[in-house]
Amino acid sequence: MTMVRQASAAATAARTAAQPMLDVERVRTDFPLLMQHRDGKPLVYLDNAATTQKPQVVVDSVKQYYEGYNANIHRGVYKLSQQATDAYEAARVKLQRFVNAAQPHEIIFLRGVTEAVNLVAHSFGRTSLVAGDEVVISAMEHHSNIVPWQIVCEATRARLRIVPMTDEGELELDEFEGLISAKTKLVALVHVSNSLGTINPVKEMVAIAHGHNVPVLVDGAQATPHMAVDVQDLDCDFYALSGHKMFGPTGIGILYGKAELLNAMPPYQGGGEMIRSVCFDKTTYAPLPAKFEAGTPNIAGAIGLGAAVDYLNGMSWDAIHAHEDDLLRYATESLETIPGLHVLGTAKEKASVVSFVLDGVHAHDIGTIVDKEGVAIRTGHHCTQPVMERLGVPATARASFAFYNTREEVDALVRAVHRVHEVFS
């Protein structure tokens, strides 16, 4: 008996060493909002692909800035301004290390992925695209990585080409290579699909594009809350992330760009902060990163995002991955036991996102009914109307999990979806 126990303890220890466990209950206490009850029921927040909740340390860092050292940056000679500048620039270095960029000035603070794509589309796109050129994007892009390219293509008379996807929600790589030609000036790809959860083989696709000397922009909005990102390893030319998707504040994100490319690009917006000198005859621009940060930036946001990075650095990506993978499998299996329910997006490599439809019931009705059970999920087209069109559905219900979600919350979702059948029976 004793021997068995010892053997079992040793096995447990070995497992723990191989796969660090996440103490979810402890982690949850870091997030004040998760402690809430709604209509007498515990809040089950499963809309993390839309935005994530914020740990107390992020909320505190923003509060401390406003209460303790709020001042504009890069201009005051007084100590308070210097303190704010130091915190803002320290946040830049945190983000540089977070994505493993070679240099801090390759990190541009802006509002998020939407603004990052617009920056590249207008600054890089408008100056390098001419009539007949092509930009390649994929069938599973978020509208934020479609519409800016349509605007620029219309202005330059360039053309958008689309990498198709399979019924399972995987990009067709053979088709991808075939789409790249001498006309291709840029490839813009989503790292992880927000509506299906597919993790795209970005590194491989960057290598293919680079084989044709075509630079690549990666939309990392849905990747950074789930996995370590190394822009030098991916060798992508641009990488964008949004703070609020990775436990930081809204209205702040970054564009990473290789210095060589960013240096060659014209400014996107003009104003204060981004100039070296201004005369009515001629204005010269500041070097990176200021060239792309016109106006007073979201200082509190950058500091808060830095705090979110610190928070993530205190965790283990392996532990997060193991936990989220367990949630993904458990949720997929549990939901599929519900009659008439179909999971959309069954790629081999997936982040913890489960999109589903229910026969005879529109996604909005699912959303309203599960909300009454205290379960928050997203319903609709998820800003990916072409994905809905491709899969032949008007909308889906989507549960998206973060590391602070639990199997019990999956159970609550499944119970709530059963309620939909009761209401509609």
Partner 1 sequence: MADLKDLYQQIVLDHNRAPRNFKKIPNASHTAEGTNPLCGDDITLYVTVEGNVIKDVGFQGKGCAISQASASLMTSTVKGKTTEEAESLFRAFHDMVAGGPDAPADDKTLGKLAALAGVKRFPARVKCANLPWHTLHAALTGSDEPASTE
Binding site for partner 1 (CB under 8 A): 39, 361-365, 368-369, 372, 379-381, 385, 388, 394-395, 423-424
> Least CB distance from residue 195 to partner 1, whole Å?
12
201 phi, psi to nearest 5 deg: -75, 70
Q: 333-339 contacts: CB < 8 A, separation 24 or more? A: 334/410, 334/411, 334/414, 335/399, 335/413, 335/414, 335/417, 337/414, 338/414, 338/417, 338/418, 338/421, 339/421
Residue (of 60, 59, 81) closest to 69 by Cα position:
81
> Least CB distance from residue 394 to partner 1, whole Å?
5
Residue (of 49, 64, 128, 93) closest to 310 by Cα position:
93
| Residues 230 and 217: beta-carbon distance below 8 Å | no
Which tokens sit at 399?
Answer: 């549960």
383 is annotated as an active-site residue: yes
Q: Would you put residue 356 in left (φ > 0), alpha (ψ -120 to 50) or beta?
A: beta
How far apart (Å, rounded) are the C-alpha atoms in residues 308 and 61?
Answer: 9
> Least CB distance from residue 143 to partner 1, whole Å?
11
> Least CB distance from residue 111 to partner 1, whole Å?
21
Q: Where are the strands (E) in 345-418, listed by range?
A: 353-358, 375-376, 378-380, 396-400
Q: Where are the strands (E) in 269-383, listed by range?
A: 275-278, 283-285, 341-344, 353-358, 375-376, 378-380
| Residues 104 and 86: beta-carbon distance below 8 Å | no
Residue (of 159, 90, 94, 164) closest to 129 by Cα position:
159
> Least CB distance from residue 150 to partner 1, whole Å?
16
Residue (of 317, 415, 422) closest to 46 by Cα position:
415
> Least CB distance from residue 142 to partner 1, whole Å?
14
Please pick, among 153, 236, 279, 383, the residue that the annotation labels catalytic: 383
Catalytic residues: 383
